Amino acid sequence: MRTRFCGVLALSFVWMLQAEDWRQFRGTFASGLAVESLPPTQLSENHIQWKASLPGRGLSSPIIVGDRLFLSAAEGADQSKLVVMCFHAVSGERLWKKTFLATGRTMCHEKTCVAAPTPVSDGESLYILFSSNDLICLDLKGHLRWLRGITVDYPNVSNSLGMASSPVWVDGVLVVQVENDSQSMALGVDPRTGKNLWKLDDRPKGANWTSPIPLPQMDPPCVALQSSKGVDLVEARSGHLRASYKEGASTIPSSVLFGSTLLTPSHGLTALDLSQAEGDLPILWRAKSFSPATASPMVMDNAVFVVNNAGVLTRGSLDGGKRQWQVRLKGPFSASAVGFGHHQFWVNESGLVQVVDVSGEEGEIVSQLDLQETVLATPSISNGSLYLRSDQSLWKLGTPPIL
């Protein structure tokens, strides 16, 4: 049986395509690609439109809804103060800050933190997940709608290294991947109440930092759950398992969708055919030399791109994973790339932003900007601007005003 991929946008995911919004980790379809506009590619300090101070620590990405930017952080010696903030995306003014106390465990590896998952929005509400497994729903003005301590419901949900999987919103359901060393699960949560619509108890045990991949173009809309065992395609409304790939996958970089193909970090990089999403997912091709490290793969300019542990960016064909070129970037990288058109923005851990033109016969670094702070979070793009965060700072990079 072949799965129907809709030829037109379904109402269930029109929310994702509001032209300049960036409502979840890696933006629309979790692809890392901007929908309409490109930030400046010849970066300099003149492109820093504003810089705002942040409290505590945070590895989550900014999300943008309209002219509002939302971000999470964690404060306190034990990071037990959970912070959600709203900034004006144009001016950088902080509009509000809300603080909650963690109900779950806050232990983390020193490199990560409690505010590692990126929030998600449906355009009307914010859904913020923390490593303490506290899930908070606010309206866009910061008013609390509900708060749920997942560890209160399931006391053995714990990962001593810290949780980082970001929630996604698919077909009116909030999908949360809570995979850990003990009580591992995935939840379909009612965004109106915070209660379970479904729960998958048979998720692999073990730390998993990958995020669900929304598949709203499938009929019915699904979500891809990646783990050490492989990839499961689950219907968003029911939690029904549609198809699986069972040959293992990374638990750090997430998969990326291209049309009806899911490119999964597995045995290098494995291309899975979602057009036949029943039973075992067919393998289209596998490229063992493509081994993404921490950053998730990206598809753009009719090619797939990965960065390995040595900081080498590789471009490969989408019809077989054949290597086309390589260029060495200055790493290491924890953040995944974002981009538009023919340009990618890579930010290394020391805060060096590198803009790469990927359209030629060789990759070319066309500009660099050193933010001089540790940056581990993936950037966001909205209205032709690039938004980045460290623990201490939030930046907007855009075209300088004409004087």
The residue whose two tokens read 């063992």 is 288
pLDDT at 398 over 80: yes
Mean pLDDT of 13-19: 49
CA-derived radius of gyration, the chain: 19
Spatial separation of the C-alpha atoms in residues 235 and 47, rounded to whole Å: 43
Sorted by sequence, the CB contacts under 8 Å of residue 232 that are 6+ apart come out as 224, 225, 241, 243, 244
Give the chain's largest Cα–Cα span. Answer: 60
Q: What is the mean pLDDT of the chain?
A: 93
| Eight-class DSSP state of 393 | E
pLDDT digits (tens, 9 = 90+) for 184-203: 999 999 999 999 999 999 89
SS3 state at 240: coil
Name the nearest CA neighbour of 295 among 341, 349, 247.
Answer: 349
What does the pLDDT read at residue 18?
60
pLDDT digits (tens, 9 = 90+) for 132-176: 999 999 999 999 999 999 999 999 988 888 899 999 999 999 999
Question: Which is more confident, 183 or 160?
Answer: 183
Q: Are 326 and 310 in contact (CB under 8 A)?
A: no
Name the nearest CA neighbour of 338 among 311, 287, 300.
Answer: 300
Boundaries of every domain in the chain? 27-55+292-398
SS3 state at 368: strand
State the pLDDT confidence band at 236, using cuts at 50, 70 and 90: very high
pTM of the model: 0.94
pLDDT at 16 over 70: no
pLDDT digits (tens, 9 = 90+) for 86-137: 999 999 999 999 999 999 999 999 999 999 999 999 999 999 999 999 999 9
Question: Which is more confident, 35 or 258?
Answer: 258
Spatial separation of the C-alpha atoms in residues 201 and 55, rounded to whole Å: 36
Q: Which CATH architecture has domain 27-55+292-398?
A: Beta Barrel (2.40)
State the pLDDT confidence band at 348, using cuts at 50, 70 and 90: very high
Name the nearest CA neighbour of 227 among 196, 259, 184.
Answer: 184
pLDDT at 8 over 90: no
State the pLDDT confidence band at 10, using cuts at 50, 70 and 90: very low
> Token pair for residue 236?
């968003």
Question: Which is more confident, 385 or 18?
Answer: 385
pLDDT digits (tens, 9 = 90+) for 36-61: 888 999 999 999 999 999 999 999 99
State the pLDDT confidence band at 19, using cuts at 50, 70 and 90: low
Q: Are 356 and 365 in contact (CB under 8 A)?
A: yes
